[in-house]
Amino acid sequence: IAGITQAPTSQILAAGRRMTLRCTQDMRHNAMYWYRQDLGLGLRLIHYSNTAGTTGKGEVPDGYSVSRANTDDFPLTLASAVPSQTSVYFCASSDQGTGEQFFGPGTRLTVL
Amino acid sequence: GQQLNQSPQSMFIQEGEDVSMNCTSSSIFNTWLWYKQDPGEGPVLLIALYKAGELTSNGRLTAQFGITRKDSFLNISASIPSDVGIYFCAGPSLGGNNRLAFGKGNQVVVIP
């Protein structure tokens, strides 16, 4: 693989269910990010991680959790999904030296 | 809070025309990034600018880092149908930690 991969591509989920969105990068970037994209609101940062073992909250962290056990993987978990979490989710990574972020293809999540 | 304003929000242009868009910030930036998002895909980095006054080209795309460091411009020359998409500007977030602030995007539609 090259770049960032996300799984699943899309998912329909019942409210109240737990869901983990997966993100893997092979660029050895230190920093990784999770965004949600909603019409009219642009990209909003959910959580980020500057390096393996550390995480931080973004603009809209409520209802989401992340972990960063290693450099390559940065899963996003919805403990109990709600309809307002219906969105397109993007994972990104960056080399801390440049600040340029590279995005995955996205996961389209629908919570009913 | 920190804001990036992109104008216009959407543009309908004839194939072959040039199109310009700009992005303004409420704070000074030392980096400007321009991304393009194709329908159903993740944002892709087009151009990165690191110095006030810098003018950088990538094929038919040209971007400039404004001398005030509070604005940037992106120009697409001789538009073609595959230029359709959403164009985002981004710069370092005041929150630091390698985070980016994003504009809400310009939707470009190219009419054949």
The chain B residues in contact with chain A (CB within 8 A) are 31, 33, 35, 40-45, 48, 88, 90, 92, 97-100, 102-105
Q: How many CB atoms lie within 10 A of CB B21?
A: 22
Cβ-Cβ contacts under 8 Å, B88 against chain A: 42-43
* Contact across the interface for A103 and B43, Cβ inside 8 Å: yes
Chain A nearest-CA residue for B91: A99
pLDDT score recorded for residue B2: 61
CA distances from B42 to A107, B16, B111 (A): 10, 26, 23
What digits encode the pLDDT tens for the residues B47-63?
Answer: 999 999 999 999 999 99
DSSP, res A73: B
Selected residue of A54, A87, A100 to mutate for chain B interface (largest B Cβ count, 10 A)? A100
Q: What is the pLDDT of residues A71-107, one digit of tens each?
A: 999 999 999 999 999 999 999 999 876 779 999 999 9
Tell me what percent of the residues of chain A surpass a pLDDT of 70: 97
Which 8-state DSSP code applies to residue A62?
A: T
Cβ atoms of A111 and A82 within 8 Å: the answer is yes
Contacts of A90 in chain B (CB under 8 A): 42-43
Residue B92 pLDDT grade (very low, low, confident, very high; cuts 50, 70, 90)? confident
Is residue B98 within 8 Å of B1, Cβ to Cβ? no
- Per-residue pLDDT of A43-78, as tens digits, reads 999 999 999 999 999 999 999 999 999 999 999 999
Residue A83 to chain B, least CA–CA distance (Å): 21
Count of Cβ atoms closer than 10 Å to residue A61 Cβ: 16
Overall residue count recorded for chain B in this entry: 112
- Interchain CB contacts (distance < 8 Å): A and B: 50
A16 pLDDT above the threshold of 90: yes
Sign of CA dihedral B105, A56, B1, B70: negative
Q: How many Å apart are CA B102 and CA B88, to the nearest integer?
A: 7
Q: Helices (H) and strands (E) in chain B — how many of each?
A: 0, 11
**Which residue in A has a C-alpha nearest to residue B34's C-alpha?**
A100
Separation of alpha carbons A21 and A12, rounded Å: 12
Q: What percent of chain A has pLDDT over 90?
A: 89
In chain B, residues with a C-beta closer than 8 Å to the C-beta of A58 are: 99
pLDDT for B8 equals 82
Q: How far is B2 from chain A (nearest CA, A)?
A: 12
Confidence of residue B80 (pLDDT cuts 50, 70, 90): very high
Q: Based on the number of CB atoms within 10 Å of its own CB, is B97 exposed (0-12), middle (13-18) or buried (19 or more)?
A: middle
